[in-house]
Amino acid sequence: MTFAFPTESLEVFPARNYPDYKSTVKRSPTKPLVMMPHTLSELTGPVYGQDAVQPGDDDLTRQHKGEPLGERIIVHGHVLDEDGRGVPNVLVEIWQANACGRYIHVVDQHPAPLDPNFTGAGRAKSDKDGYYKFITVKPGAYPWGNHHNAWRPAHIHFSVFGHSFVSRLVTQMYFPGDPLFPFDPIFNSVKDEKARLRMVSSFDLDNTVPNWALCYRFNIVLRGRSQTPMEH
């Protein structure tokens, strides 16, 4: 199957220069982007062998001697293309703060404890139907310096590869009903409300495991539409 990647689909993406998120101002191009047709270089992208993901990489609660503190959760869903078809065998990488809202990264020095049993990184590969699943703990909100009393809503960072290098996506998964949504410029940089809500996971009672973990569903839709093969 061959795929097309219409640039119109990008209209829901945030503006590169979005002054409410201050760091964008000096880090976004000022000159118009150059439009170009997709060539073989854009229509292809990295493909992974089975060795990219090791058993256990998808369980962030089992990477250390003990279990991390916090609310254990299952995060799962499908990686889909724009036709709603599952995208098989793609790498999904996640990273997140711990239950206290603290990242293990050396630059995060805000006064919340690190958890010796939690790194906060995971990876998984979508199966033949595009399905992926992680086990982790629910991350906390955390403060940042963008404006007075700025707090990021709880989120998990997602990095996903698709059919081509132009379907490459880095995004953030949020949790339903977060009271910080109205105040977060990163979340609100997506102007289209329906598109914004596609970044919010849904509570998935059916897949909650009784006496063990709550569950959230997060489907990820990547660029790519099937296209009738052309004669060459």
Residue closer to another protein (CB basis): 15 or 209:
15
In the residue annotation, 103 being an active-site residue is answered as yes
Cβ(151)–Cβ(101) below 8 Å: no
In the residue annotation, 152 being an active-site residue is answered as yes
Backbone angles phi, psi at 61, to 5 degrees: -95, 0
Among residues 38, 85, 123, 157, the one annotated as catalytic is 157
C-alpha pair distances (Å), 154 with each of 66, 99, 102, 171: 23, 9, 11, 13
In the residue annotation, 155 being an active-site residue is answered as yes
Which residue do the tokens 């979005």 mark?
A: 18
One-letter amino acid for residue 186 of the chain:
I
In the residue annotation, 105 being an active-site residue is answered as no
In the residue annotation, 163 being an active-site residue is answered as no
CB of 211 to another protein, least distance (A): 30
Residue closer to another protein (CB basis): 178 or 208:
178
Take residue 202 and report the two structure tokens written for it. Answer: 């849904």
Residue closer to another protein (CB basis): 82 or 208:
82
CB of 164 to another protein, least distance (A): 7
Among residues 72, 102, 155, 223, the one annotated as catalytic is 155
Cβ(191)–Cβ(29) below 8 Å: no
Tell me the catalytic residues: 103, 142, 152, 155, 157
